[in-house]
Structure 1
Amino acid sequence: MLKYIYTDRKTGVNQLRRGHILGLLVIAVILAFLGTTLFSPPLPAGLGPEVLPPGIPDNEPRVLSATLAAVGDIMGHLTQVEQARTTAADGSVVYDFRPSFDFIAPALLDADITVGNLETTLAGSARGYSGFPTFNTPEELAANLKEAGFDLLATANNHSMDMGMSGLKTTVENVRAAGLLNFGTYLTPEDRDTPLIVDVNGIQIAFTAYTKSTNGIPVPRDHGYAVKYIENFQDPSPMFEEIAAARRAGADLVAVYMHWGFEYSFDPADYQRDLAQRLADAGADLILGSHPHVIQPLEWITVREGERAGKRALVAYSLGNFVSNQFHWPPYIPTPAVQYGLLLQVELEKNLNSGETVISDAGYQITWVHRDWRHRILPVQEVLKRGPEEYNLNSAQMEELEEGLAWMKGIVETFRFSELK
């Protein structure tokens, strides 16, 4: 009785599989063995042909898969800070932002990797905590984000320099001390020049982030490495070069956070769409937008040129606000849509035979910030299914969410995202 070794797809452990072989086949095998083994010199280990018997599948895994979740702007307005303030057992003042993530954390934790845009600084209490227009949020936020399911944060945006160079560096240090990775702002030139590539279930994902503005606060000339900043993206060539470098460094997929567009606009500007196409042509697979503070559409883009011509990239022109204290406040904030955000959920697959990695599927959830209840981020579809009681909502708010969901989905689907996926 012969024994064939195969690999269990789930455990990766070699198992023994028994099969009954007819007498003639046994004789044939013995004769073949005598002919090749007794009269031929042995082959060095590893050089012999690998032959699978008929009907026995090659169970070596051929596809790796991973899931990625991405959200938009993580803000730190003073109202949020004040509501997070509490007293520790020793009487000291501490800040607890965890209630904001009570209902959304399961979706964040469910993904293999979760990322968002940190649009505030964590520069320490000595600088004083502040909100708009120059943000400084208690550093406890970083640990709370980690606990909620975040793995890394984009930190290149128009508020990166709100507390100057020292504040930028302290922010990076506090983010990393909480066990999070960051990209877009850096401590050293070497830090900036080393591609951030994260292994997610065997798929190598590169992350980078760029901003079009630092709100007029200049980055010191001798610290130009500190922020990936291209004024109004007038010369995007450094981004294209970085994408190519990430590919050379072994990235299977490249994700780019872009701080771009115009505040409170539901439509991507012409330059956003043009630049998204150019980023895709340069090798970006996933383009994640922030800055407008409202949701903008999702769109599939077909690569036009180069080795990747014909392949698709996915762009979220703006993921909106994930958490903030923004609300409809005309004329300063002209829309209630600032309370809504997009949780993008992406499935990735890497074909081990071809080496190709693709976005195999993508979907989204609409979120809403319950400002009257510790800024809890609510998954709108789930809320509408389960009812108001669990979420401290009244009937008017439920009606608002039902209308808001239809409104936001209409924006997201402007370019037929779900139809074309």
Structure 2
Amino acid sequence: MRHHGRRGERCGRRRGAGALVGALVGSLVLGGCSPDSEAESARTSEAPASEAGRAASAAPAGPTATLAFAGDVHLEGALRGLSERPRSTLGPMSRVLRGADLAMVNLESALTRPGTGAPAAKELEDPSLRYWFRSPPSALDLLDRSGVDVVSVANNHGADYGAAGLRDTLAIAADSPVGVVGVGADPTAAFTPHRVEVEGLGVGVLAADSSPLESADPTWSVREGAGPGLATARTPDAPRLLAAVRDSAATDDVTVVYLHWGEEGAACPTPLQQDLAASLAEAGADVVVGSHSHQLQGGGLLDDAYVGYGLGNFLWYHGRQAETGVLEVEVSADAVEGVTWRPALIPELGGQPQPVTGAARGEAVADWRRLRGCTGLEPGPGAAAEPGGQPDPPQQPAPTQQPDPPATEALPAYRSEVRRIGPAVRRSMLGSSHRPTCPVPLPDLRQLRMSYVGFDGAARTGAMVVHEDVAEEVTQIFRTLYRERFPIRRMRLVDAYGGDDDRSMAANNTSGYNCRTVAGTDRFSDHAFGRALDINPVQNPYVLGGEVLPPAGRAFADVDRSPGARAVPGVIARGDVVFRAFASRGWEWGGDYSEPDWQHWSAP
């Protein structure tokens, strides 16, 4: 955006031929574009709802384009075969993708025909965590029907079937209208951007893998003279990628980088992500986005660049990390002009993401905004009322305000599951909610998955870790809360917040195990033993002297919690269903402490 760009015929939306075609035929072919009537209809029939509103400054002098980004697409489980169905798409969120001038996702698998290549060695990966996935050529047809223009295969599954698989990837890409980036016959091709003209702007799109290396084979990190490989960027200086960004910034109006990066299960970016983002912004990248953590992460401005650290799963074979969406970034040749988050949810059993609508949509956008808190990024354009500007309003209505009545239709049957801590959860817990010095070893803990009722009255599924001694009892308690429709804002492992109790409380997260000390002491909390729970911390804050934790709980600090008091949604009161479910089993309530901790329950 800080440079002159190529100018061509103005056209609403369409694709230029990808860099991979150049890798095969020895030249980069730039195709024209033609109007897409369906996309134009989608764009004009629904005014975009910006996450921060549009900038208050004057309209940009030149043309603008809307770029749309979604996370990981994975055609496994019940989704296997979806791409072979003639009219199949990524679901209703395809309308958002089609409405953009350029849309991009990550394909979380090798793109290769069945039977091509042998499974890669993956000798650097834990044997219990070695997986191999492939998607057929029809995957690109599915993406094309869904409005996707560019797809990255630079990830920890892109080379699952070795050099033969990558050669097949290049051949498949050469025949597709969807640009495939992050792979090439040699380093020059792998780091050549997909280029396209949209709305009169020249856009260059690059991709690279920055996830932990699973094999030393050159297919996983392309090298001179070693054959095809993936583009990678595993250090903050990432010389090949930074050079490619500088070249694009000197040629294209807008430079986009899509990365596979971060720590699985983490809601906050790692230091490597932050350092690499800074290097890319300095090199001239205008938009830097990525996925890999299977978890939404925050986004915002880094100098003039927009960075979206984590887009989560998108089309996925399970809904255990259900929150997803499409990130729209409006750009001109000079600046990021606006940012919009279109929230969606992956169904519990997996499948096509469904748009979040109504009051829940505003809550989902607010949740996404709050993820910026641990990124060090500034709010997007026009974000005066966001964190970093003026304070956000409380997550839930104050006690004197009544929310819309929840849905009253019949709930699905309550479901719960108690399981041992598996490899993926273990990895997310280590260094976050658990350390070797903690008083309870991981084998003594259990992960729970349980139904609960959200503030919108709908059934949801949450996750929690507790000690094995109380695991079954906790599922029975939450069965009672579910039956009585006690609303819970969210229920996620505290590792989604890096093990940070303040962040978990601020997100109004109901949680269990967290190896931490009692505030202001070096004594382990009951949570460190897996024998304590916190429920709806905003509606049930911890009142410590003159401080209310979390701060958004101040509106609920003085709610009447005596027997028979008027019920406020999400608030725990003496004698109510929550009190009875826990107290009847001998659990102690923090509301009885001299400095009340209304959210807290601990096992005897």
Q: Same fold (TM over 0.5)?
A: yes
Q: What corresponds to 1:16 in structure 2?
A: none
Q: Is the 8 A contact 1:73 1:116 kept in 2?
A: yes
Distance 1:128 1:196 in 2: 26
- CA deviations over 1:377-416 (Å, ceiling 9, x no partner): 1111x3x46xxxxxxxxxxxxx8x9976654443256656
Q: Distance in 1 between matches of 2:87 and 2:110?
A: 18
Paired with 2:291 and 2:314, the residues of 1 have a C-alpha distance of 10
Q: Tell me the CA shift for residue 120 of structure 1.
A: 1.0
Q: Deviations over 1:96-150 (max 9, x none)?
A: 2855523111111110111111111221122499997111123222101101101
Kindly report which structure 2 residues correspond to 1:16-415, keeping only aligned pairs within 5 A, or say none: 62-81=61-80, 84=82, 95-96=84-85, 99=88, 101-127=90-116, 133-188=131-186, 191-192=189-190, 194-212=192-210, 213-216=212-215, 218-219=217-218, 222-223=225-226, 226-230=229-233, 232-233=234-235, 235-248=237-250, 250-302=251-303, 312-328=304-320, 338-350=321-333, 357-372=334-349, 375-380=351-356, 382=357, 384=358, 407-412=367-372, 415=377
**Number of aligned residue pairs:** 310
**Residues 104 and 170 (structure 1 numbering): CA distance in 2 closer, same or farther, change over 3 Å?**
same
The alignment status of 1:417 with 2:400, answered yes or no, reads no
1:118–1:154 contact (8 Å) kept in structure 2: yes
Q: Which has the higher contact order (CA 8 A, sep 6+)?
A: 1
| CA radius of gyration, larger in | 1
CA distance 1:223–1:202, change in 2 (3 Å) = farther
Equivalent-residue separation in structure 2 for 1:119 and 1:170 (angstroms): 16
| Distance across 2 between alignment mates of 1:156 and 1:272 | 16
Query: What is the SS of the residue equivalent to 2:297?
Result: coil
Q: 2:237 touches 2:279 (CA, 8 Å); kept in 1?
A: no
Between the aligned partners of 1:416 and 1:254, the Cα distance in structure 2 is 20
Q: Is the 8 A contact 1:129 1:138 kept in 2?
A: no
Q: What amino acid sits opposite 2:90 in the alignment?
A: F
Task: Judging by fraction of residues, say which structure has more helix.
Answer: 1
TM-score of the aligned structures, taking structure 1 as reference length: 0.66
**Identity fraction in percent:** 25
Residues of 2 paired with 1:166 and 1:327: CA distance?
Answer: 33
Q: Is the 8 A contact 1:296 1:318 kept in 2?
A: yes
Partners of 2:237 and 2:279 in 1: CA distance: 12
The answer to whether the 8 Å contact 1:99/1:376 transfers is no
Could you say what secondary structure the match of 1:317 adopts?
strand
Partner of 2:40: none
CA separation of 1:79 and 1:181: change in aligned 2, threshold 3 A: same
Letter in 2 for 1:297: G
Question: What is the Cα-based RMSD across aligned positions, in Å?
Answer: 3.2
The change in CA–CA distance for 1:235 and 1:97 in structure 2 (over 3 A counts) is farther
Distance 1:128 1:367, change over 3 A: farther
Q: Find the counterpart in structure 1 of residue 518 from structure 2.
A: none
Change (3 A) 1:359 1:408: closer
Q: Deviations over 1:170-210 (max 9, x none)?
A: 22332442311111101355533644322112211111111
What corresponds to 1:52 in structure 2? Answer: none
User: Does the CA-based 8 Å contact 1:186-1:226 persist in structure 2?
Assistant: yes
Q: Find the residue that maps to 2:241 and give its secondary structure.
A: helix
In 1: Cα distance, 2:187 partner to 2:273 partner:
28
Find the aligned partners of 2:134 and 2:118 in 1 and give their Cα distance: 5
- In 2, the alpha carbon distance for the partners of 1:241 and 1:188 equals 15
Which residue pairs with 2:499 in the alignment?
none
Confirm or deny: 8 A CA contact 1:244 1:283 kept in the other structure. Answer: yes
Separation (CA, whole Å) in 1 of partners of 2:372 and 2:213: 28
Taking the aligned partners of 2:197 and 2:365, their CA distance within structure 1 comes to 35
Q: C-alpha distance in 2, partners of 1:402/1:251?
A: 35
Higher strand share: 1
Structure 1: give runs of 5+ residues left out of the alignment.
1-9, 12-60, 85-93, 303-311, 329-337, 351-356, 386-398
Counterpart of 1:205 in 2: which secondary structure?
strand
Check conservation: 1:256, 1:288, Cα contact below 8 A.
Answer: yes
Alignment partners' CA distance in 1, 2:353 and 2:278: 32
- Does the 8 A contact of 1:348 with 1:359 survive in 2? yes
